[in-house]
Structure 1
Amino acid sequence: MISINNLTFEIGARALYDEANWHIKPGDKVGLIGANGTGKSTLLKIIVGEYSPTAGTVSMAKDLKIGYLNQDLLSYHSEKSILHVAMEAFERQNQLHSEIEVLLKKLETDYSDDILNKLSDKQMEFEALDGYSIEFRAHEILAGLGFSEDEQQRPLATFSGGWRMRVMLARILLQTPDILLLDEPTNHLDLPSIKWLENYLQAFEGAIVIVSHDRYFLDRIINKTVESRKGKLTLYAGNYSFYLEEKSLREEIQGNQFKNQQAKIKQEEKLIERFRSKASKAKMVQSRIKALDRMEKVDDIDDDNPEVNFSFKFSKPSGRHVVTLEQISKSYPNLEILDRTDALIEKGDKIALIGANGKGKSTLLRIVADADSEFSGTSTKGHNVSQTFFAQHQLEALHLENSLIQELINFAPKQTETELRSILGCFLFTGDDVFKKIKVLSGGEKSRVALAKALTADANFLVLDEPTNHLDMASVNILIQALQQYEGTFIVVSHDRYFLDNIANKIWYIEDKKVKEYPGTYQEFEEWNAKRTVKSSDKPAKKVKEEQPKPVKVVANDDVQKTLQKKNKELSSLEQKIASQELIVKQLETELAKEEIYSDAVKLQEHTRNYNSEKARFDQIQAEWEALAEEIMELESLS
């Protein structure tokens, strides 16, 4: 289908590809993966002819029909409806439709056989090309990608970039090409649309090449994986999960080969050094030197998945209740988002807020983050809550004249430059990159800087809106590890299911204008929701009441509410005592670790006695807090 032979592509003095080879066969569904900057998007542009290779060839059949989705399509502008734009995919059918209309107009005054024959021929071809169903097909695909009937009649120019990209995707899918080249197709899709696209691509009969950082999406579609790395293209005969296992095995073999070869080289070098000065052994020494020079060296393996080497820090823990939402209502013109809903975020919650676009996720997130005050009801922050809010508009808060490292130093002066450079490194800024001015960065790079900046905040509560946008898989893994280690509370909106499944312990979703909660992981929620959907379809007249999560209740009756307020004040007081006592205990632990203390028996005994006393006091306060917390929970159950 497409044959790439000895492809070399150079940008300046750098070879992005160096004699790379790859053959795409009919029916192949391939995930093209690799770190940012390894040339994945560039390779797609080479295949479609936008870029010319420095050397080598890309060959394919002349009549091969390629559908190519890339981020450049965001610049496409049209005042026509998105239905019309999508139907531009049917070029021949549209041409025939126009010609038929002209012939029908002529037929009003000219009944000649010539006109009738031409009309008959055009109508037969139009029918053969399934022209009468093209509008239905366009409606179907646009609906799958999240467009309502009314929206399909709106001009393309009235939609934001993300929605315009969906229209471009619809147009490409309607072309039914022989091969689809998709560059980050899930970037602007919500979860329902991603699932719809998965089902569509699974049934697609042509070949597919997908560049994506969504590993769940890849696993459900591809049957082959090609890794772009160090100028080469390496094929793995399975999906992304298979690739991870197979690459691990290959690296284990390569690592052993490298160690064995290095041991052999050292042995040979010792032998050469030992006999180098002996004339009688000169021939043997030269022979072994030449053999070493000719030896094909095995490379050591590179660690593409480094473990996280930084952690979130905050100076004080929050109280038990982080955010309390009571009777929240929010609406826009002609659209009601929330209606008198309650919700509660508690200390230690790791919440994933999911759902289709337009259901109010970002609105709810802004209310939680105090970034939206135009609503009715109350949103209350708990005791000692310190918050940081990451969203794409945070890019505007970056100081364009600062270098990357200076931006983080100014924001987090308590952290060392080494720690800050480590954080930037996790988000693909290494070496001299940290000295670049922010004003020269791309939008995606600025987004990564803003996220790195958010992670340095002294915050025990994180509000994160699409934090994985513009991150490659290695950086997503770094963020997952960091959030898994984070001891505070967070709520996150993301469409990356692998990310959500690895960081969340609660799921929030908006249904019937209420915030509803599922107490479990994303995968568990998906299984529960699938069963609920099946039950609903089997018995449409009945609601599944026994499994329906309810909005979190936070309002009790008057008597219980007064008692709760009193107990919560006591709890807050204990939390402050715990924080103070914890500092005392940690200070004493630091003292005990000093050499001048543990090397002096008298001082050691005195400090140990003080430590045990303060530690016992800390344990006592902690026990009082736990007992009071249980009492509060019982009272809340009565409300």
Structure 2
Amino acid sequence: MASESVATIQVSCKQTRFHIEASPNYRELDIEGLNITVAAPPSQAGTAATTAKGKAKKTKGEGLELLSNAKLRLKAGQRYALVGRNGSGKSTLLKAISEKLIPGIPEATRVSILQQTDADRDGGDGDAPPTAAGAQQGSSSSSSAASVPPSASALEYVVERATSKNELERDISALSSGVNECASAHGALRALRKLKHDRLQKRLRRSLPRSHCAFFFFFSLSKSTSPSRARSKKHILPPLHPTRSINQADDDIAPEALQAETQEAVDMLAELQLQVEPARLAEVEARARKMLAGLGFKPEMLEKPFSSLSGGWRMRASLAACLLHDTDILILDEPTNFLDLLGIVWLQRYLGSLEEGGETAAGITEPPTLILVSHDRDFISLCTDVLVVKDKQLTYHHGDLASYESSTAERRVHLRRVKEAKDKQKAHMQDTIARNLREGRRGGDDARVRQAKSRQRKLDERWGVEVSAKGTRFKLNRDMVGWFDSKREDVEVPPEDRAVVVVLPDPPELRFPGALISLEGASFRYRGAQKKQQVQLPLVLQDVTLSVGMGDRVGIVGLNGSGKSTLIKLLVEDHRPTSGTAARHPRLRLGYYSQHAVQELQALGLAEPELTALSLMLRETGAGDHPEPGSNGSGGDAAVKMSEGEVRALLGSLGLPGRLASDVAVRRLSGGQLVRLGLARILWRRPQCLVLDEPTTHLDYETVSALREALRRWAGAVVLVSHDRWFVRGVVQGAAALEPGEDGGDGGGPGGGRRGRER
């Protein structure tokens, strides 16, 4: 399959009169007038423009506007939880920050990012690790990853990604050969210029939209262009020496330039050698071992080749490398994916300890500014501030997510009351003015008429908010700068967000009672790789007894490798127990959501590029009792076929409405939308029991809340595997786990009579 064009991120912001490169603190950002637009690829520009006709979405040119005149403000050392609904632009904003596409970010700012990438969607390796861009200035994630040998162990991979050791050694080798060259006195100069040329070329490729300065540096080095000529084309070229050409003849090099650049090469060589000295690398390796152990690596796993690790363990290694970077801004996008509870708790404590200075490759430094994206509400409680992407704006709140939701609701109620009181007062004043006008005109009292008209003008011009945004007395020159139709702002009540609702179909009643799924003394061990292997592998599960009845809630928690997935496969009959029994209700319809459901849908989308969510569901629902291979459901009763309208209603109830279901290809859906499609594939059969393995991955926090509430109220049985502690508490414990301010409903959930168990 041919590679497709990639959408372009267009970024602009308000120009500042200060020189951003001279900023003493690169951990702070204060950017006003930020606009971010995702433009369609050039090959699809015409199609996008035609398709956009008649749509209500506001676009800018041929792209989708994500942020409009927003303000990006990050304070040094603060921990920000970036929240927003799927599709609001969180990932695009993180990419713009990490790649320094925003003109207000200094080039010297070191940004380290752990970002989840859908390798399968691009036709890459399904076990490819997530992107972990280096924090070193002048290096990129691709060049950093390419410098890691294919046979490198997990420990070597982390150390290399944190220190760029191989890249530094190549630079040292190039400079050493130039400095020690005896045949020519210009060897050090040429090695230095070649090294600068390569670094500028990487800088240009990494951030082309804002690399005009690097472009003209590179142009002058490679094309023998004088600085004055380059400056005449673009007035952004910093002062240079008279000539910077790599191929400049020896006779044309001034003795002063030769001496200065030779000394610069010697100083740079000494600095690079200091970075790779054995004592420093040993210290970094010790920290890497400690960090990998906290993330769940056993000592023998550290020496395994990185390429042999699964996707989850690669993600942990990339996370460790990202945390070891000496960085100004640390960005973590869903770092808890593939982590067990101990790993999540360790990471939460580690990030919390960064306030006092974290352990990085450079030693104890000032804490970086942290931007964290996670659907785990308990995990993001470590953040000091909440950064909300909503309505193309960035909203800030000092506190955790629960306090933000509470304060937003309280402010909405307060403004609604103020508006109602103002409206009543205004109606009373208008009635008084109208009465005075009538009586004045009837009695010929001109003074009364003039007084009424004067009050009407004041009412039109000065009616509105009487206090500033800070609660102080309103001042026109300070609080309303610019052009306005009146001298006061109206009291505007922010509209309530359209609630995310997840609707689960009611399970059909069983003809006779009994346990839905039961295990009695079940034990399980995997078979050896060879059929004639005599050595028995150890038991993964031993003497497990479990019974799941209608309305039960069972939460399965544990460390990675403890047998959670094996237990799930016994429950769904993918495996048979080595000893003991596993039974199922003969009329049971079981819905199983696998933790690999998103990857399966991505592979299906790549195999069938034109496949949409609606066409996939119509194909599977029309199969009756014989679902297509790959469908994640099973049933004892005959599954009922569904009409297209019913399929659309089901997809819409899960957040895939209208054209999103019928026009957008599966390969184009986001991770959260693929989770919704995976749930639809098991819910259309109306199962009595749901077995869900990590269903919250890729979902935004509002959808996670809606799914938790839907499962809490659902009448069927739920067996849940998740590392999201807040989600598990709400589903398993029900109303007893609701936090202050949450709606407990009518007690119809498991906390109101159904059994909740945590295993």
**TM-score, length-scaled by structure 2:** 0.56
Change in Cα spacing, 1:185 to 1:272, as seen in structure 2 (3 Å) is farther
Q: 2:681 aligns with which of 447, 450, 453?
A: 453
8 A Cα contact 2:375 2:697, kept in partner: no
CA deviation profile, 1:79-138 (whole Å, cap 9, x unmatched)? 222211100144376678899999xxxxxxxxxxxxxxx999998776697333222111
Q: Distance in 2 between matches of 1:89 and 1:257?
A: 56
Change in Cα spacing, 1:271 to 1:433, as seen in structure 2 (3 Å) is farther
1:153 aligns with 2:203: no
Corresponding residue SS for 1:88: helix
1:10 aligns with 2:37: yes
Q: How does 1:418-497 map to 2 (within 5 A)?
A: 421=648, 423-425=650-652, 427-442=654-669, 444=671, 445-497=673-725
Corresponding residue SS for 2:87: coil
Corresponding residue SS for 1:233: strand
In the alignment, what sits opposite 2:407? Answer: 246
Q: Distance in 2 between matches of 1:286 and 1:83?
A: 75
Corresponding residue SS for 2:538: strand
Q: 2:157 aligns with which of 55, 67, 85?
A: 85
Q: Distance in 2 between matches of 1:91 and 1:479?
A: 42
Change in Cα spacing, 1:271 to 1:153, as seen in structure 2 (3 Å) is farther
1:345 aligns with 2:547: yes
Q: Distance in 2 between matches of 1:187 and 1:96?
A: 32
Deviation at 1:152, TM superposition (A): 1.7
Corresponding residue SS for 2:109: coil
Corresponding residue SS for 1:504: helix
Q: How does 1:40-119 map to 2 (within 5 A)?
A: 40-49=90-99, 51-52=101-102, 57-60=103-106, 63-72=108-117, 74=130, 79=150, 80-91=152-163
CA deviation profile, 1:482-541 (whole Å, cap 9, x unmatched)? 1111122121111111110101159xxxxxxxxxxxxx9899xxxxxxxxxxxxxxxxxx
Deviation at 1:63, TM superposition (A): 4.3
8 A Cα contact 1:41 1:211, kept in partner: no
Q: Distance in 2 between matches of 1:174 and 1:472?
A: 28
Change in Cα spacing, 1:25 to 1:262, as seen in structure 2 (3 Å) is same
Deviation at 1:64, TM superposition (A): 3.5
Q: Distance in 1 between matches of 2:96 and 2:89?
A: 10
8 A Cα contact 2:589 2:685, kept in partner: no
CA deviation profile, 1:198-249 (whole Å, cap 9, x unmatched)? 1111111312111111111001x21111111111111111122222222222
CA deviation profile, 1:47-78 (whole Å, cap 9, x unmatched)? 223544xxxx5334x54332211124636676
Deviation at 1:148, TM superposition (A): 1.8
Q: How does 1:288-303 map to 2 (within 5 A)?
A: 294=486, 296-303=489-496
In the alignment, what sits opposite 1:607? Answer: none
8 A Cα contact 2:522 2:544, kept in partner: yes
8 A Cα contact 1:497 1:522, kept in partner: no
Change in Cα spacing, 1:482 to 1:119, as seen in structure 2 (3 Å) is closer
Q: Distance in 2 between matches of 1:119 and 1:299?
A: 62
In the alignment, what sits opposite 1:189? Answer: 339
8 A Cα contact 1:6 1:19, kept in partner: yes
Q: Distance in 2 between matches of 1:213 and 1:245?
A: 18
More helix by share: 1
Corresponding residue SS for 2:372: strand
8 A Cα contact 1:330 1:336, kept in partner: yes
Q: Distance in 1 between matches of 2:269 and 2:70?
A: 52
1:310 aligns with 2:503: yes
Q: Count the aligned residue pairs.
A: 491
Deviation at 1:37, TM superposition (A): 1.5
Change in Cα spacing, 1:298 to 1:333, as seen in structure 2 (3 Å) is farther
Deviation at 1:305, TM superposition (A): 6.9
1:223 aligns with 2:416: no
Corresponding residue SS for 2:403: helix
Deviation at 1:254, TM superposition (A): 3.2
Deviates more, 1:389-398 or 1:492-501: 389-398
Change in Cα spacing, 1:392 to 1:96, as seen in structure 2 (3 Å) is closer
Q: Distance in 2 between matches of 1:259 and 1:406?
A: 49
8 A Cα contact 1:403 1:434, kept in partner: yes
Change in Cα spacing, 1:289 to 1:119, as seen in structure 2 (3 Å) is closer
Structure 2 residue identity aligned to 1:201: L
**TM-score, length-scaled by structure 1:** 0.66
Deviation at 1:296, TM superposition (A): 4.1
Q: Distance in 1 between matches of 2:315 and 2:99?
A: 21
Corresponding residue SS for 2:94: helix
8 A Cα contact 2:98 2:112, kept in partner: no
Change in Cα spacing, 1:450 to 1:307, as seen in structure 2 (3 Å) is closer
8 A Cα contact 1:387 1:460, kept in partner: yes
Q: Distance in 2 between matches of 1:121 and 1:225?
A: 40
Q: Distance in 2 between matches of 1:322 and 1:226?
A: 44
In the alignment, what sits opposite 1:336? Answer: 538
Change in Cα spacing, 1:25 to 1:426, as seen in structure 2 (3 Å) is farther
In the alignment, what sits opposite 1:33? Answer: 83
In the alignment, what sits opposite 1:256? Answer: 417
Deviation at 1:251, TM superposition (A): 2.2
Corresponding residue SS for 1:336: coil
Change in Cα spacing, 1:96 to 1:362, as seen in structure 2 (3 Å) is same
Q: Distance in 2 between matches of 1:465 and 1:178?
A: 36
Q: How does 1:540-551 map to 2 (within 5 A)?
A: none
In the alignment, what sits opposite 1:236? Answer: 397
CA deviation profile, 1:306-347 (whole Å, cap 9, x unmatched)? 374734312223733222223321225496352442222231
Q: Distance in 1 between matches of 2:437 and 2:614?
A: 51
Change in Cα spacing, 1:312 to 1:474, as seen in structure 2 (3 Å) is same
CA deviation profile, 1:557-576 (whole Å, cap 9, x unmatched)? xxxxxxxxxxxxxxxxxxxx
8 A Cα contact 1:316 1:384, kept in partner: no
Q: Distance in 2 between matches of 1:345 and 1:365?
A: 13
In the alignment, what sits opposite 2:558? Answer: 355
Structure 2 residue identity aligned to 1:40: K
In the alignment, what sits opposite 1:327? Answer: 522
Q: Which stretches in structure 2 are left out of the alignment for 5+ residues?
A: 1-27, 40-58, 118-128, 132-144, 175-267, 358-366, 442-448, 464-484, 530-536, 622-638, 740-759
Q: How does 1:383-394 map to 2 (within 5 A)?
A: 383-394=586-597
Deviation at 1:389, TM superposition (A): 1.0
8 A Cα contact 2:331 2:372, kept in partner: yes
Deviation at 1:466, TM superposition (A): 1.2
Change in Cα spacing, 1:490 to 1:92, as seen in structure 2 (3 Å) is closer
Q: Distance in 1 between matches of 2:415 and 2:387?
A: 19
8 A Cα contact 1:29 1:209, kept in partner: yes
Structure 2 residue identity aligned to 1:74: P
Structure 2 residue identity aligned to 1:149: P
In the alignment, what sits opposite 1:535? Answer: none
Identity across aligned pairs (percent)? 29
In the alignment, what sits opposite 1:543? Answer: none
Change in Cα spacing, 1:68 to 1:354, as seen in structure 2 (3 Å) is same
Structure 2 residue identity aligned to 1:439: V
8 A Cα contact 1:427 1:475, kept in partner: no
Change in Cα spacing, 1:266 to 1:449, as seen in structure 2 (3 Å) is farther
